[in-house]
A and B are shown apart, each in its own frame.
Chain A
Amino acid sequence: MSGANAATATETETAATELTAVDRLRADARDAGVLCRTELRTRLRHIRGEPRQLVANAFMLLLFGVGLPLLLVAPALSYGERLASGPVPAGQSGAVVAGVVAAGLYLGGAGGFNQNRTGSVGPLVRTSIPPRSVALGRLVSETAQASVLVVPPWLVLLCVVAVGAGNPLPALLLALATLPVLVASLLVGRVLGDVVRFVSRTIGLSLWAKALAFFGVTTVFYLGSQSLIQSQVGESEGLTSFSVPPLLPGEPLQAYAVAVLDPLGVAGHPLGLLTALVVLASGPVALAVALRVEAGLLSFESSESSDERDVASGTRDVPRPFTVTQSARVAWRYLLRTRRDPRMLAHLLPMLFGAMAMGASFITDPESLLLIGPGALVVGGTTLAGAAYCLNPLGDDSDQLPLLLTSTRSVGVLLRGRSVAGAVPGLVLAVGIGTPLTLYQHGIRAGVGQTLLALLLAVSSAGTALGVGALVPKFERREYMNVERSHPSTVAVVGFFFGGLVVGVAGLLLLFGTLGGASLPVVAAGWAVYLLVVAVPPVAGYVYAVRKFDALTLDDV
């Protein structure tokens, strides 16, 4: 073959290879489209078919589409006015862009970390279409779902800004500034979520170490951001003039916002232009990285995480305090299983986040920690006593129901076992830590009173949670925070958290009112009503749960 022919042949081969690559890309995109459409259609059907899902999603849409814009109407109007009436307010504009970045990073990160359908449908998907198509399809579908929460408030707030400005131009420029930032931050967040998932899969730590690391990082991140926000809000005049500080990343964001919102003077903002370039470039780069990492994670996860499985463990006999009754022996097994796999308590994360939100006040007033800390431990511990194992009592064991229902004369033993199991960590918090702190802070009478209250509330919490769990059981497996199991209903978890909070705080107020010397008739009436409130729901809840689960059949699951 001559040199010219060889060159032609090479070119032809290259062209063929290129064509194949293009074809492959096209095929991947087509497969991704099919997966994306299927996931979105399935999700919509799931929401339409379940009244509870329908209500929950409508609530979320109202919360984000109406509630959030309502909260920000005044600052948005004021911002619009300032945009129209003078030079671009750099601090406020930077804060707007920073808010969009935070929302995008959070939603993208949650999507990357909290992958759906990696369990039951995962293997089918993995073996049906190429990993890159799976990753792309899921990314688009999950980003579309996340956008449902972000886009409506974004559009509404842009309209409010336009109203404030008196003309649509500032709002259009603001849309131009925030849209690429939103897309880029969603994708960058996705990469961050993927990386966290990858690290959590590969790092050689026990599940408990990972859980504690997650807890620590989340706490530091949350408290740090709260501290930053509160320091800024404290210096400014509330949300209407809220701005980000001129520090990294605040300064580039401000410069970027000013550059886009003042297009005529854009040449005077080199940092803004540079940031705009970074924003525009980071979207495609993050997309490419996310696809690569997620495609890799798919095959990695399908081979199962060896560090989680290969845990050497001898048999643990039931220790002395738990040998006394059948329920206590059952309780020990729940605790043992949790000790080996803390993911059994993944459903408590909304409570953790809620507690963090409430704990933010400690940042501005650290001394209040000592004052209300012991009471908070009582409320938290007793709520935990019910929430840990009782909010989805038999749904949680759905895979083992054939054993449980053909082995126990009554499920009562399982329900009591779950109550005892929950009471252990709950009372460690409420009494084990709370009581010594109260004794130190408020004296013996308060310590004894608070301990009795904690014991009462722990029992009440468990019985009530069983009733709630029997009313809204969940038998289907789903993925939450990267943990696939039959999680309790989210509404039940959140509702129980707030209910527990109200009842616990009311009890503490009553207790300290009593100890403070409030009038006897008032105190007596207060305690009578309170005891009714903490006694009736748990008794009714327990009886209801036993009757109902004793009648449970596999047709109901």
Chain B
Amino acid sequence: MGNFPGTLEGAFRPGVSARETVNQIFSPFLPDGPTMTAPSSALVARGLTKRYGDTVAIESLDLDVDRGVVYGFLGPNGAGKTTTMRILTGLIEPTEGEAWVADTPSSNRRELVDRIGLLPEEPPLYDELTGREQLQFAADLRDRSWDDVSERALAYCDALELTGDLDRRIDGYSTGMCQKTAFVQATQHDPDVVFLDEPTSGLDPRAAKTLRELIVDLAAADTTVFLSTHILPVVEEIADEVGVLHDARLVAEGSPEELVGDATAGGASGPDAGEDADVETGEEADLEDAFLALTSEPEAAWQS
């Protein structure tokens, strides 16, 4: 466990001053920090930085995502995608910077919960409940009645061919079924912004296709979808905008076509820039080429 404010855990370690110890234990009783003013957009980040000691997870990240957009968030492993998503959903606090989701500061979790839905990489489900009980529980957590959300939830379940298994316990579910349940859980309350971390992970091709269609439908209904995935064809197919994170920084942003165009035109630096565009063979470049170009080290650094 880390330094949890208000916890004895770690409070008496060597090097922790008495003042820090007291602050750590009693911080829950201290008043909250200042509140921020909200810009008007589905998702805005200004100078978001997160450091863990000397390690920089994300640095000076600026984002502007419009409503009703599927925003593909790409980056190599460890680039800072999950950290960004956690900050935007209020699960962790940035070291510096601010973020707003649907006009609500991401630090204001109390207000944020009504506006967002989250599908993290590990589906947060209770093994002992059935799928239907899990969805009902998720509705209860938001103080929404099942009657309110069930029509939408069951429609998604139908589309994902999950309805027949809803009355089975989750500990008997396959990985894909857990993923489907967690997707429905994240979207059944009609949030303004949905955060999806690898949503097609563990899904068979048919379910993955259905899920992509559902994501497009969500965006068409004015829900903003923040989609983090390594499956580039998915992003290329459904994303309206793409942001590429590399070494904790946003190195490119635009529509998939723009990114591909930039890469093939040599807009991106690095040894792999446009490498797979295979001008010689005449094959068209795709988002994967652009991604490889954008996330490669600069030539000098690469050669050294």
Contact = CB atoms under 8 A, between A and B. Distances in A.
Interface stretch (A114-122, A144-152, A333-341, A504-512): A333-341
Contacts of A519: none
A444 B130 CA distance: 45
Contact of B138 (A405, A407, A474): A407
Prevailing SS type, chain B contact patch: loop
B91 A405 contact: yes
Contact of A473 (B1, B27, B109, B138): B1
A557 B2 contact: yes
B91 A403 contact: no
A303 interface: no
Most buried by A among B13, B124, B130, B138: B124
Nearest to A341: B128
A330 B143 CA distance: 10
Interface in A510-557: 543-544, 546-548, 550-557
A543 B30 CA distance: 12
A476 B9 CA distance: 12
Given A310-B172, A547-B28, A552-B4, A333 B137 contact: yes
B128 A472 contact: no
Given A401-B124, A409-B110, A473-B7, A336 B129 contact: yes
B126 A472 contact: no
B91 A329 contact: no
B172 A309 contact: yes
Contacts of A52: 8-9
A3 B229 CA distance: 70
Contact of B140 (A314, A330, A402, A410): A330
Given A315-B167, A553-B91, A400 B128 contact: no
B161 interface: no
Contacts of B89: 402, 406
Interface stretch (B113-121, B270-278, B292-300): B113-121
B133 A551 contact: no
B152 interface: no
B167 A314 contact: yes
B125 interface: yes
A556 B2 contact: yes
Contact of A553 (B8, B93, B137, B185): B93
Interface string A318-358: 10000000100110010011001100100000000000000
A471 B29 contact: no
Most buried by A among B109, B112, B130, B138: B109
A472 B7 contact: yes
B128 A340 contact: yes
A315 B28 contact: no
A279 interface: no
Contacts of B92: 553-555
A413 B169 contact: no
Interface string A388-413: 00000000000111111111111001
B88 to A, nearest CB: 10
A329 B140 contact: yes
A323 to B, nearest CB: 10
Interface string A242-277: 000000000000000000000000000000000000
A113 interface: no
Contacts of A86: none
Contact of A475 (B1, B5, B141, B167): B1
Contacts of B28: 470, 544, 546-548, 550-551
B166 interface: yes
B90 A405 contact: yes
B117 to A, nearest CB: 8
A407 B113 contact: yes
Nearest to A313: B169
A555 B13 contact: no
Given A326-B140, A406-B116, A551-B28, A313 B91 contact: no
Contact of B6 (A316, A401, A406, A470): A470
Given A413-B141, A473-B9, A557-B2, A402 B91 contact: yes
A311 interface: yes
A470 B27 CA distance: 12
Interface string A458-480: 00000000000011111110000
B46 interface: no
A366 interface: no
Most buried by A among B91, B93, B132, B136: B91
Given A316-B133, A554-B86, A406 B4 contact: no
30 contacts: A310-B172, A313-B168, A313-B169, A315-B133, A315-B167, A330-B140, A341-B128, A399-B124, A401-B91, A402-B91, A403-B124, A406-B109, A406-B113, A406-B117, A406-B118, A407-B113, A409-B110, A409-B111, A409-B114, A413-B141, A470-B28, A471-B7, A473-B7, A548-B7, A548-B28, A550-B110, A551-B6, A553-B92, A555-B2, A556-B4
Ordered nearest first, which 5 A-B pairs have the shortest CB separation? A547-B28, A556-B4, A403-B124, A548-B28, A548-B6
Given A403-B141, A550-B110, 14 more contacts: A309-B171, A311-B169, A313-B169, A329-B140, A336-B133, A340-B169, A402-B118, A402-B120, A403-B185, A406-B90, A409-B110, A473-B1, A544-B6, A554-B86
Interface of A: 51-52, 309-311, 313-316, 318, 326, 329-330, 333, 336-337, 340-341, 344, 399-410, 413, 470-476, 543-544, 546-548, 550-557
